[in-house]
Amino acid sequence: MILVRDLAVDAGARRLLSDVSFSVQAGDRIGFVGPNGAGKTTLMRTLAGLHEPVEGSVVRSGNIGYLSQEAALEDLDDPDATALERVLMARDIGTIERQMEVTRQRMEKVDGVDRDRLIRRFGRLDDEFTARGGYVAKAEAKRFASALGIGATELDQPVATMSGGQRRRVELARILFAETTTLLLDEPTNHLDMDAKAWLVGFLVDYEGGLLIVSHDLPLLDESITSVLAVEGGLIEPFRGNYSYYLEEHEQRRSQRLRERRQQEAKIARLEDGIRRFKGSSEKMARRARTWETRVRRMQDDLVEVQRARRRVALRFPQPVPSGRTPLRAEGLAKAYGHNVVFIDIDVDIDREERLIIMGLNGAGKTTLLKILAGVEEQDLGSVEIGYRAAPGYYAQEHEDITAGVAVLDIMRGASRLPDRDLRSVLGHFLLADKVDQDAGTLSGGEKTKLALARLVVAGHNVLLLDEPTNNLDPQAKEALLEALIQYEGTLVLVSHDTDFVAALEPDRVVLMPEGDQAYYDESMLDLVALA
């Protein structure tokens, strides 16, 4: 259970939320909704105990599981821990299994007395593992992992070598496996394929604990939640029902408030007209006018609040200087992490102004290939050639290029020599004008996405390599990004699991990973996008 009373949350010097009071109890399934930057992620971190409120209190009881938007594993003590061990650590038995594996590895390197000692230690650990139901739990952990698209090979892979999408699926499996009493899930469907999303929806519907979920996956919200907390203008308003009901009720409430506000303003206008007419007349009428002035001041203090219509993201990529005919070419690429071979012998030829999408199942190497093409990761074999006048720009799905401790405006300065006035203007188009001095590391996931896109805009690239650019974006911002890319006349290389987004972009060709086969795009391939 989580009990929140009179909470206020800041990000830097900016007040995000005020006077927040609600509870998350067993059986509650709550969707937390609002535009990017409204404070959803900061509040989730506060509820999880990772961010201190400036006012109010948060009371927690039971076992709380928190899934962050970020794929970083700051609390990963052992960098060699496998995905399965990471999941098992949710119930402490993972630590025992890791100790067993380390002991087993040491046994292979020694003999004599040392080996006998390690055999006895392994036996004690195995007895403890069995007594805690470790082997039964291990089978259960594998089922959780499989349901979320984590294959048997991935389970044996060290988490530190995994892609961001793989790590988030491992973290989600770990949190769901942890036997929690309350779940705090921030964008849990990022990096999940259709089957995994369907399984997650079923799990959440049957979940008996308390649930608070942040997601821009509207079908998930509709099926999984029974109430909504909507954040707008620094305040939170509760709604009963799922997301579809919230949309209708929110508009009805706004319309009602607007009618009440107009009626109040009309009444104030009539009183003010009477004040002007009678204030300079007889003493009797002047006294009445002064009474009306007092009444007007009270009415102005009690005016119904009506939130302004949300500003829209204004996104446009400047039309770039044309590159040569082949801006990007790769031959014989291969990549492996230790014994895990991601792909071998991959060739890619990209033509000027072409839209190429890289497809494949989770873990097939899509992000790794994109990083190699962008020059941010080294291939083990093969070569990448940047063509004549080609200027590639890379969007990283995990925002690795947005450095914590650096102000938003300084991030923009690192991408362009444009005057600060122009950089601020671009940030304003992305609704980040009030965050120019904020630590970029404290931005929400959606705000980091907008900042990363803003950097691409000011840099004037003629080749864009985008890795899941719609993750964490609210629907309006995603629509703005789509329209901007449709108008963009440069070359585009894309990794995305968003079927609607890909369908609207209408790619020219696809590269199918991990084999690297190339084909012309047609609509039948959207099924493969959904499986990515």
Average pLDDT rounded to a whole number, residues 14-36: 88
pLDDT of residue 71: 60
What integer is the mean pLDDT of 131-160? 86
Q: Taking residues 106-122, what's their average pLDDT?
A: 86
pLDDT at 26: 92
* Residues 414-445 pLDDT 10s: 888 889 988 988 888 888 888 888 888 888 77
Q: In this predicted structure, what is the pLDDT of residue 495? A: 93
- The model's confidence at residue 312, banded by pLDDT at 50, 70 and 90, is low
Residues written for the chain: 532
d(C-alpha 283, C-alpha 74), whole Å: 75
Can you tell me the distance from the alpha carbon of 269 to that of 319, in angstroms, rounded to the nearest whole number? 51
Q: What percent of the chain has pLDDT over 90?
A: 32
Q: Is the pLDDT of residue 528 over 80?
A: no
Residue 427: what pLDDT?
Answer: 87
Distances (CA, A) of 527 to 1, 194, 498, 523, 531: 40, 9, 11, 8, 7
The answer to whether residues 505 and 482 touch, using CB atoms and an 8 Å cutoff, is: yes
Q: Give mean pLDDT, residues 18-27.
A: 91
How far is Cα 229 from Cα 235, in angstroms, rounded to an integer? Answer: 10
Mean of pLDDT values over 187-214: 89
Containing 8, the helix (H) or strand (E) segment is strand 2-11
Q: Is the model's pLDDT at 403 over the cut of 80? A: yes
Q: Which of 210-219, 309-318, 499-508 is the least confident region?
A: 309-318
Q: What is the per-residue pLDDT for 416?
A: 87
Q: What is the pLDDT of residue 391?
A: 92
Instruction: Determine if the pTM surpasses 0.95.
Output: no
With CA atoms as reference, report the closest residue to 83 among 335, 363, 341: 363
Q: Tens digits of per-residue pLDDT, 60-98?
A: 999 999 998 876 655 556 667 888 888 988 887 777 877
Taking 90 as the threshold, does the pLDDT of residue 523 lie above it?
no
In DSSP notation, 160-215 reads: GGS-HHHHHHHHHHHHHHT--SEEEEESTTTT--HHHHHHHHHHHHH--SEEEEE-
How far apart are alpha carbons 321 and 12 in whole angstroms?
39
Residue the block writes with tokens 């399965």: 84
Domains in the chain (CATH in brackets) are: 328-531 (3.40.50.300)
Among the ranges given (224-238, 272-286, 357-371, 411-425), the one the predictor scored with the smallest mean pLDDT: 272-286
166 or 326, which is more confident: 326
Of all residues in the chain, the percent with pLDDT exceeding 70 is 94
Whether the CB-CB separation of 366 and 532 falls below 8 Å is answered with yes
Q: How far apart, in Å, are the Cα atoms of 173 and each of 37, 81, 103, 191? A: 27, 15, 26, 13
The reported pLDDT for the residue numbered 207 is: 93
Q: Is the pLDDT of residue 288 over 80?
A: no
Flag whether pLDDT at 529 surpasses 80. Answer: no
Residue 532's pLDDT band (cuts 50, 70, 90): low
Q: Is the pLDDT of residue 37 over 90?
A: no
Mean pLDDT score of the chain, rounded to an integer?
85
Tell whether the model's pLDDT for residue 272 goes beyond 70.
yes
Give the tens place of pLDDT for each residue, 351-368. Answer: 999 999 999 887 788 989
DSSP 341: E
> Over 80: is that where the pLDDT of 458 sits?
yes
Return d(Cα 182, Cα 210) in angstroms, integer. 5
pLDDT band at 280 (very low <50, low <70, confident <90, very high): low
Which is higher by pLDDT, 383 or 299?
Answer: 383
DSSP-assigned beta bridge partners for residue 55: 8
Q: Angle, nearest 10°, between helix axes 112-131 and 93-107? A: 160
How far, CA to CA in Å, does 98 sit from each of 88, 93, 136, 212, 488? 10, 9, 17, 32, 50
Q: Is the pLDDT of residue 52 over 90?
A: no
> Does the pLDDT value for residue 530 go beyond 70?
no
**Beta carbons within 10 angstroms of residue 452's beta carbon:** 24
What pLDDT shows up at residue 494? 94
Mean pLDDT of 450-477: 87
pLDDT value for 379: 95
Give the angle 440-421-461 at the CA atoms, nearest 5°: 70
- Quick one: residue 376, left, alpha or beta (phi over 0 = left, psi -120 to 50 = alpha)? alpha
Task: Read off the pLDDT of each residue in 2-10 and give the average, rounded to a whole number.
Answer: 90
- Given a cut of 90, is residue 453 above it in pLDDT? no
Q: Averaged over 340-345, what is the pLDDT?
A: 89
